[in-house]
Chains A and B, each alone.
Chain A
Amino acid sequence: GAGVSQSPSNKVTEKGKDVELRCDPISGHTALYWYRQSLGQGLEFLIYFQGNSAPDKSGLPSDRFSAERTGGSVSTLTIQRTQQEDSAVYLCASSRSGVAGGFMGGEQYFGPGTRLTVT
């Protein structure tokens, strides 16, 4: 079946520009997550959506970062006034439920990521 998809796969932008990254989760998954992976680093949690609940934004590094999820499906991560330190791979994941524990439906499936380069 179709997995998590992300677009674009690569994005090069100039410092100061805004960018939008898109995530299409697996159909029927209620939970959606955004992570960031900088060069040579592990994944850093950014934001989490679960159903119609208010998102957990605790991982967003600054107010230049925002995300929304429309209709409980597609999500867009927006970075305003991009900086060079924003360069990273942005990964989206979805899970059937938001409850911790893979065998409770909380297993997260990742998309291929969007590589963002800010010049």
Chain B
Amino acid sequence: GENVGLHLPTLSVQEGDNSIINCAYSNSASDYFIWYKQESGKGPQFIIDIRSNMDKRQGQRVTVLLNKTVKHLSLQIAATQPGDSAVYFCAENRGPKAAGNKLTFGGGTRVLVKP
């Protein structure tokens, strides 16, 4: 899906620098969080996830940090590349496990990588 968003916050980053994308959530009962990347005309693509019993998880060039005290989630991208240009969404699972895995998405942050 296309994300031409007049109100999307935008992060401009120089190629090779690190990017940090932030997300606040409101439901203290949320126990599972995910970051998705969405390129223009495509569906969201899973990047990394984290459970509420963790405060940090690392993947390839990405790290997710979870601060439950202030209900804050961040995604760090190391050595940002032009292919990282996209809209990034955080998502949380708010319901109990019995309610399934439906996700509540944040509004998204557009990342623009400058060569």
Chain A contacts to B: CB under 8 angstroms: 4, 31, 33, 35, 37, 39-45, 48, 50, 56, 58-59, 89, 91, 93, 95, 98-103, 106-113, 115
Contacts and interface: CB of A to CB of B under 8 A. Distances in A.
A45 B89 CA distance: 14
Contacts of A41: 5, 107
Contacts of A112: 1, 41-43
Interface in B35-68: 36, 41-46, 49, 51
Interface of B: 1-8, 31-32, 34, 36, 41-46, 49, 51, 89, 91, 93, 97, 99-108
B34 A98 contact: no
B100 A50 contact: yes
B50 to A, nearest CB: 9
A11 to B, nearest CB: 13
Closest 6 pairs (CB-CB, A-B): A40-B5, A110-B43, A89-B1, A42-B105, A102-B49, A43-B105
A42 B44 CA distance: 10
Given A35-B103, A40-B6, A107-B46, 11 more contacts: A31-B100, A39-B2, A41-B5, A42-B107, A43-B105, A45-B102, A100-B100, A112-B43, A113-B1, A113-B42, A113-B43
A100 B5 contact: no
A100 B95 CA distance: 9
B7 A40 contact: yes
B1 A59 contact: no
B2 A107 contact: no
Most A CB within 10 A of own CB, among B3, B36, B101, B104: B101
A37 B104 CA distance: 12
A48 B103 CA distance: 10
Nearest to A112: B43
Contact of A108 (B5, B51, B103): B103
A4 B45 CA distance: 12
B99 A56 contact: yes
A89 B93 contact: no
7 contacts: A39-B2, A39-B5, A41-B107, A56-B102, A89-B1, A91-B43, A108-B101
